[in-house]
Structure 1
Amino acid sequence: MDETRLTTIAQIEQFLVASAVVQFTPSQNDEERYAHISRVLKRFDYPRLGKADKGVLLRYLGHTSGYSRQQLTRLVSRWQSNRLAPTPLVKRYMAPNAPFARKYTSADMALLLEMDRANEDVCAPAIVRLFWRAFHEYGDPRYERLASLSSSHLYNLRKSTSYQLRRVSLIKTRAVCNPIGQRRVPRPDGRAGFVRVDTVHQGDLDGVKGVYHITCVDAVSQWQVQSCVQGISEAYLLPVLGLVIGQFPFQVIGFHSDNGSEFINRQVAKLLEKLRIEQTKSRARHSNDNALAESKNASVVRKHMGYSHIPQKYAKPINAFYENVFNPWLNMHRPCLFASELVDPNPSLSTFR
């Protein structure tokens, strides 16, 4: 486009109005666009224009060059600083001809892997010291670059993809060594009083917890006691747990639960020890150790209480309903089947049916 005939600000305004709906495709060459901006600014003597005229000229340059208003402001500022030069606007940046050189090569990564394997992944300062000694004291030229490695950058090298692909360490799940309770299945030997315990959460609503139901069922007689608490912390659980144990018509001898912290803690252990009740907990990789209580969660709790969120403020009335109405009906006024126990000759196994 030959725009040299535009010599006044009035002509520029008419051009902008006439070409408002016309889409220009500026040249992708920054040098050509820089030259166009320099010619227009020089032809209209930009430094002597008023504020309104400068705004019109900037709109025109943005329309024809494709640059944003912010970029044009920077280019105009540079042009005013260098307008006496032969080429006031020049491109000041360019893509690098070659990528940045790596300081630590693949051979260095191999030495790092070898050192880590030999010393079982000790801390970074120790590895850095070993590199320094290998080069300065033992004169091994392979460690020349690694001798100046910092501890912080050593961790960066360990996080790199090349290191992670070659160095894979697998750690087995560590067993939780909690001395509270014994890891074994209770052996009632046909006696009532060995109860299984589990908790059921009544859903969340907008990040707010609902009530918790506590299921306690005897392993032999199937006598079941339900209760409800606001939370599973010791402030709510301990008082209700004492009431639950008191609702059984026989003496509770054993108390079995999973490994949840709501029951495996010092406060509950102290309460059970005071009542002379044996505390046991489920074994690792034996999902059926507490299956009796977990099955009651679905067949009793979810069947009658549902899955919807129940606010914590209703814990006390629900607990009163359990104690006065639900538990008597659950154990006295519904058809029940009583389990029979067959003890396997193998003392480590027992079968219930």
Structure 2
Amino acid sequence: MDESRLQTISQLRAFLAGTLEVRFCVPDNDDARYAHIVAVAVRLDYAKLKRPHKGVVLRYLQRTSGYSRAQLTRLLMRVVHGASLHKRYRSPAHAFARRYTPGDTVVLAEVDRVHGTLSGPATVHLLRRAWARGDARFERLADLSVSHLYNLRASKVYKAQRVSVNRTRPLAHPIGLRRAPSPQGRAGFIRIDSVHQGDLDGTKGVYHIYAVDIVTQWEVLACCERISQAYLLPTLEALIEQFPFVILGLHSDNGSEYINKVVAALLEKMRVEQTKSRPRHCNDNALAESKNASVVRKTFGYSHIPQRFAARIDTFCREHLNPYVNLHRPCLFAKEVIDAKGKVRKTYPHDMVQTPLEKLASLPDAQQFLRPGITIESLQAKAAQISDLDAANAMNVARSKLFDLFNRRPTAAA
């Protein structure tokens, strides 16, 4: 470093301000830097400088040596007191001796593997017992402390010998049977699903609760403001009561609105078997989900409907929509055919197109599925009171009035 021209504090200030041209480079070793610090301190007589001037020297040495201000202060104090600058630290000639060798760690890993990783005190007791029985491998491990035992278990040698992985354990939910329902040609096994009627500016819409019988495709649609227990339970109970036959089973997906203790208690009280969808079986609840598109969305669309209209929608479904889809609207029913490879294929022949009521009436001993006081003849008489065309027109008129209510601008407060 060529900085011999810097003899005064004013020259140091000019250098720090960048107005004085000096060629310098930071030394690449501590000995050269120490020599540079001593030379500057002696040349400028650092011990006799005033405090502001000492600050200039410190800033200059920070620039030229690369050391921090605190470290330079300590080094300059040693120069002022006449001590020589040299490294006062060195790497130890010998590293700390290890009491337990990698071989001891391997033996410990074997003990843990055989005994299933017992607690620290139990493992230490086993090590001492092994040494007492004359096993020379446990000479050093017999004096192993419980605290240092866990240090050895965390070492790389131990982990290379024995890796313990705790996998996530599946939790079996006790509510509902995880299987597909098996109606075996009987009416009364329904599939259920929820449909949300959109959000608007962070405000939730109404919730449609849709249930369909597996065999007859008898459909019941209800509506509630929310799917919390206070709103869902009365709606679910009223929905089940609208079916003309006794409900024997209810199948849903794994949503918490149906898989909970309150709904399970309600179904147990009504003696209804509760089942839920299985993993990797996307068609377990496909019948209800397909009806969501063909009935719910086709009737109410996808636009937001405020929650305050839930009671009006539920009344419309009970008085107009549900009677129309069950007594007058035909459905396609599948016919299962087994091909040459043994695979079950479903076809939908035209001669099997029926209304849910016609399908119910075609079941052998259909009367045994119905609720007390309800007969097939009374249901057929109700269907004959109005033609299919008139029933559809009446439903559409009621639907138009309902949507006019949705679109009506609310009256301003007085």
TM-score normalised according to structure 1 size: 0.73
Give 1:109's aligned residue: 105
**Distance change (3 Å), C-alpha of 1:51 and 1:147:** same
Task: Map Cα deviations across residues 185-244 of structure 1 (whole Å, 9 max, x no partner).
Answer: 322233333122345789999xx9967765533323332536466465x45543443344
Instruction: Answer yes or no: is the 8 Å Cα contact 2:38–2:79 preserved in 1.
Output: no
The verdict on how the C-alpha distance between 1:318 and 1:24 changes in structure 2, with shifts beyond 3 A counting, is farther
Matched, 1:80 2:77: yes
Structure 1 175/86 Cα, relative in aligned 2: closer, same or farther at 3 Å?
Answer: closer
Distance 1:172 1:84 in 2: 65
Q: Note closer, same or farther for the CA distance 1:171–1:9 as it changes in structure 2 (3 Å cut).
A: closer
Deviation digits for residues 23-70 of structure 1, max 9, x if unmatched? Answer: 953112022112212222233233433332222212211221123xxx
CA contact (8 A) 1:238 1:268 kept: yes
Larger radius of gyration: 2
Q: What 5-or-longer segments of structure 1 have no aligned partner? A: 345-349
Equivalent in the alignment of 1:339: 333
CA distance in 1, matches of 2:76, 2:243: 93
Paired position in structure 2 for 1:277: 272
For residues 297-312 of structure 1, the aligned pairs below 5 Å read: 304-305=301-302
**One-letter code aligned to 2:17:** V
The separation in 2 between residues aligned to 1:31 and 1:272, in whole angstroms, is 86
1:88-120 Cα distance to aligned partner (Å, 9 max, x none): x33344556676655543322321222122212
The alpha-carbon distance between structure 1 residues 58 and 320, as it changes in their structure 2 partners (threshold 3 A), is farther
- Give the aligned residue type for 1:266: K
Q: CA RMSD in A?
A: 4.4
Kindly provide the CA deviation profile for residues 228-280 of structure 1, in whole angstroms up to 9, marking residues without a partner as x: 66465x45543443344345454432112345554333221211122232222
Give the whole-Å Cα distance in 2 for the aligned partners of 1:50 and 1:169. 66
Question: What aligned pairs does 1:86-165 form with structure 2 within 5 A after superposition?
Answer: 86-87=83-84, 89-94=85-90, 102-135=98-131, 137-165=132-160
Residue 10 of structure 1 is matched in structure 2 by: 10
Q: Report the counterpart of residue 184 of structure 2 in structure 1.
A: 189
Aligned to 1:347: none
Shift in alpha-carbon separation, 1:168–1:81, aligned structure 2, 3 A: closer
Conserved 8 A contact 1:190-1:341: no
TM-superposed CA distance for 1:159, in Å, is 4.2
| Paired-residue identity, % | 49
- Stretches of structure 2 that go unaligned for 5 or more consecutive residues are 339-343, 348-414
Deviation per CA, 1:101-140, whole angstroms, max 9, x where unpaired? 55543322321222122212222321122112222x2232
Larger CA deviation: 272-281 vs 102-111: 102-111
Which has the bigger relative contact order, CA under 8 A and spacing at least 6? 1
Secondary structure in 2 matching 1:75: helix
Count of matched residue pairs:
335
Rate the CA distance shift 1:187–1:50 in 2: closer, same or farther, 3 A: same
Matches within 5 A, 1:202-351: 215-222=210-217, 223=219, 225=221, 227=223, 230=226, 234-235=229-230, 237-248=232-243, 250-283=245-278, 286=281, 288-294=283-289, 304-305=301-302, 316-317=307-308, 319-320=310-311, 323-324=314-315, 329=321, 332=324, 337-340=331-334
* TM-score normalised according to structure 2 size: 0.64
Contact 1:181–1:281 under 8 Å retained in 2: yes
